[in-house]
Amino acid sequence: MHYRRAEEEPTLAQKLFGTSGIRGGISDKVTVDLALDLGRALGTYLSGGSTVAVGTDARTSRVALKNAFLAGLVSTGVNALDISIAPMPAVASQSIVSGLSASVIVTASHNPPTDNGFKFFVGGREMVKSEEAALEKHVFARTFRVASWRDVGKVARADIRSTYLERVRRFLLSRSQTADGMRVLIDSANGAATEYTPTLLGRLGFLVTTMNSHHDGHFPGRLPEPSPSNLADTMRVSAKSEAAVTLCHDGDGDRLAVIDEKGRFVDQNRIIALFARDEVQRRGEGLVVTSIDTSSVIDEVVEAAGGHVVRVPLGSLQERLSSDSRREIVFASEPWKPIFTDLGGWMDGIAGAGRLAQMTFDAGNGSCIRLMSSIPEYPVLRDQVACPDAIKPQFMANVREMLLSRINNVQRVLDIDGIRIECSDGSYVLVRTSGTEPKARVYIGARTQDSLDKLAQISRDVMKRALDESGLH
């Protein structure tokens, strides 16, 4: 075994990892060359003789990227378990299986079909920033371990579906018993969860109808992001069906979107609040970790149940889950992506689908609308503006100063990711710049539409002035 510096190639982008793994176009960022180097980098980071599980979503580029990654990995003396097409939660769960050092999925999650990417898991959670930085260092330095001919790694194949589904089924049965024939509709987006979520819910006693339910990396039924605009057809089908609830995924199954029996999209903040309250109530207390871009309805509901909410920067849930306080965390989530810590430290839209169906059957008495009636519904607004990378620091400095001078009833200011100003009337505004695109985003929430409109007008004025004074024009 020795280390070799590969021949110099054109410099890659300064940073490979964004807020959720590596993603990008397969012709200009997530190429087979990068896949090869990522396999080499992970193998160099791990010890020789380790074994890594590798799966993919259903995208058309999956085979080329997976095989390039496997080639790089085994060249370092690390063994691989090829698990073929599998949803992200199932792949992530492999990182806690005895004998496996890590797991990797080739996926771009909810991105367009032209993209692909990579996510890495250790110990049941996504890699934290320091671990990602170690992989980046190997890629940029181009110093890779090279196994001798005797020590080249081997590739075996495995089907993990039954093992993962049984793990989730046991978790869900610890929360509720099997259902009695309640109808559910599942939209799998032609993605990796296609053969998982319907099977799971069927085993729990639900009557399942599916749509967009075969693997197809072209995503012919709809684009993979389960947003209200992409789910327009699904909402129409749902409204005409007999389903008590409709459960929708993205391309790799870490996301869950919910549609009620009247075909209406349920706001993600309310879903987070519902799950979080349930987990807190089971213990009478507990810590809920959520991302900076979520609504104050979560705080209201969780605190009433005896819990406490902590917010972290977008893409940093895994940092908190890897800390000493993990045992105190009863639930964590970004919008769309629930983490049930009693199950594991990964985002799991499949387990979320099962739990939401159970709660609809139990607390909702077969009605998603009835289930959600106990979670307040407050108006929210999200918007974005163009913001070149070069002016982002000055833009954010301007935004902070201007917002604080315009908003009178400030209760708390969070500076952990952009600036989030929380007001005494329960309203809030968050402005942050994107880590992957030349954009700035604003998130606004309030208890009333009038308060939302006022904050929205202030935010638009401030962002326009901040851009002007940052030298955009």
Active site residues: 109
User: Residue 411 to residues 208, 290, 373, 404: CA-CA distances in angstroms?
Assistant: 46, 19, 28, 11
Candidates 295, 297, 346, 296; CA nearest to 321 is 346
Decide if 391 contacts 470 (C-beta within 8 A): yes
Specify the DSSP class assigned to residue 426: S
Name the CA radius of gyration of the chain, rounded: 23
Specify the DSSP class assigned to residue 393: H
Candidates 399, 393, 315; CA nearest to 132 is 315
Q: What share of the chain is helix, strand, coil (3-state, %, to 5)?
A: 35, 25, 40
Candidates 363, 374, 291, 381; CA nearest to 334 is 291
Backbone angles phi, psi at 416, to 5 degrees: -75, -20
Tokens linked to 98: 């005895």
Residue type, 156: A
Distance of alpha carbon 470 from alpha carbon 383, whole angstroms: 20
Tokens linked to 242: 């007999």
- CA quadruple 434, 438, 440, 443: dihedral, nearest 10: -50
H/E element, 461: helix 449-469
Collapsing DSSP to helix, strand or coil, 387 comes out as coil
Tokens linked to 69: 């990654």
Candidates 379, 378, 384; CA nearest to 442 is 384
User: Residue 383 to residues 325, 443, 470: CA-CA distances in angstroms?
Assistant: 34, 7, 20
